[in-house]
């Protein structure tokens, strides 16, 4: 998975390439097929949103790309890029302060001790959490914890030793628990950071408008087992407003397609 990616003739190099990926949990009669023959290329610097019904295999797919689990069939190539995953749950260390959680991530990425405090403070500013540096996770609201998790994922995209390596940021429903106002602010923030750092983003959400607000492309997965059923390019200029007519119109089209897909499975 870490080998440099060679573009095959007629195919451009991808930051993430899934080729015929299937994933089954368990074996024999009790086996559960979560993903079925998923092929997907994400271009370097592209922002791809992944939509699909609950249980269709979205988190499974991100875990496979993050190399936390292995596919049952098919291949996944990230071309040697750094991969940072922001989980569906915040997954912070409860015994460390907010700053401590961020500093640990920065330490893992080779940031010298003398710089960690300042970098952690900058990351907290970027997720609008100045003033909460010394709190522990249990002292924060669910939405605030999720924002710390976002800051930590961003810390994990840093690599002092190899700053030129591409970075793939995987985000699993990062803003699902947030109020609309905070979510809108963080959409602006993640878009800015994505642009400035040239990140490649694979972003899972249930929220169709959010997918259209953020994505260069929206990929729709079928109900379990997850397969790619349709892809929607998003040609609108950025920054977009989640409540704009253009976003609402394309989101309506995608929602209709999603309903059709969920309906086919009787859910």
Nearer to ligand ATP, 25 or 93 (CB): 25
Query: 16 or 171, CB closer to Mg ion?
Result: 171
Q: Does 59 bind Mg ion (CB under 5 A)?
A: yes
Residues 6+ away with beta carbon under 8 Å from 82: 156, 157, 159, 162, 165, 166, 167, 168
The 224-263 site mask, x for binding ligand ATP (CB under 6 A), equals x---------------------------------------
Nearer to ligand ATP, 54 or 75 (CB): 54
Strand runs (DSSP E) across 57-101, as ranges?
73-77, 82-86
Cα end-to-end span (Å), the chain: 36
DSSP secondary structure, 175-213, as one string: TTTS-HHHHHHHHHHHHHHHHHHT-EEEEEES-HHHHHH
Q: How far apart are CA 168 and CA 201, in angstroms?
A: 6
Taking CB under 6 A as the binding criterion, the range among 53-61, 73-81, 102-110, 176-184 that sits at the site for ligand ATP is: 53-61
Residue 25's binding partner among Mg ion, ligand ATP, none (Cβ under 5 to 8 angstroms by kind) is ligand ATP
- Which residues pair with residue 168 across a beta bridge? 83, 200
Q: Verify binding: residue 32, ligand ATP, rule CB under 6 A.
A: yes
Which residue number, 44 or 57, has a Cβ lying nearer to ligand ATP? 57
| CA–CA distances in Å: residue 4 to residues 165, 252, 262 | 11, 39, 38
Lay out the site mask for ligand ATP across 140-179 (x = CB under 6 A, - = otherwise): ----------------------------------------
Q: Which positions touch ligand ATP (CB under 6 A)?
A: 25, 32, 34, 52, 54-60, 88, 224
């Amino acid at each position: 998975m870490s080998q440099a990616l060679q573009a095959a003739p007629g195919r451009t190099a991808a930051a993430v390439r899934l080729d015929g990926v299937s994933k089954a949990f368990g074996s024999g009669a009790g086996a559960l097929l979560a993903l079925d023959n998923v092929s997907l290329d994400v271009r370097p610097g592209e922002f791809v949103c992944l939509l699909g019904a609950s249980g269709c295999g979205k988190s499974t797919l991100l875990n496979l790309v993050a190399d936390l689990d292995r596919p049952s069939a098919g291949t996944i190539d990230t071309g040697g890029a750094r991969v940072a995953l922001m989980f569906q749950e915040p997954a912070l260390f409860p015994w460390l302060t907010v700053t401590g959680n961020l500093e640990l991530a920065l330490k893992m990425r080779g940031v010298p001790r003398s710089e960690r405090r300042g970098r952690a403070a900058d990351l907290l500013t970027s997720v609008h959490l100045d003033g909460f540096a010394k709190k522990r996770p249990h002292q924060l609201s669910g939405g605030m914890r999720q924002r710390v998790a976002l800051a930590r994922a961003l810390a994990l995209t840093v690599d002092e030793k190899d700053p030129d390596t591409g970075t793939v940021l995987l985000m699993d429903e990062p803003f699902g628990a947030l109020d609309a106002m905070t979510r809108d602010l963080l959409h602006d923030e993640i878009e800015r950071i994505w642009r400035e750092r040239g990140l490649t983003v694979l972003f899972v959400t249930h929220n169709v408008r959010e997918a259209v607000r953020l994505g260069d492309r929206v990929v729709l997965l079928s109900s379990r087992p997850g397969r790619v059923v349709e892809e929607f390019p998003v040609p609108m200029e950025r920054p977009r407003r989640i409540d704009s007519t253009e976003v609402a119109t394309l989101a309506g089209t995608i929602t209709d397609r999603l309903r059709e897909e969920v309906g086919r499975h009787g859910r």
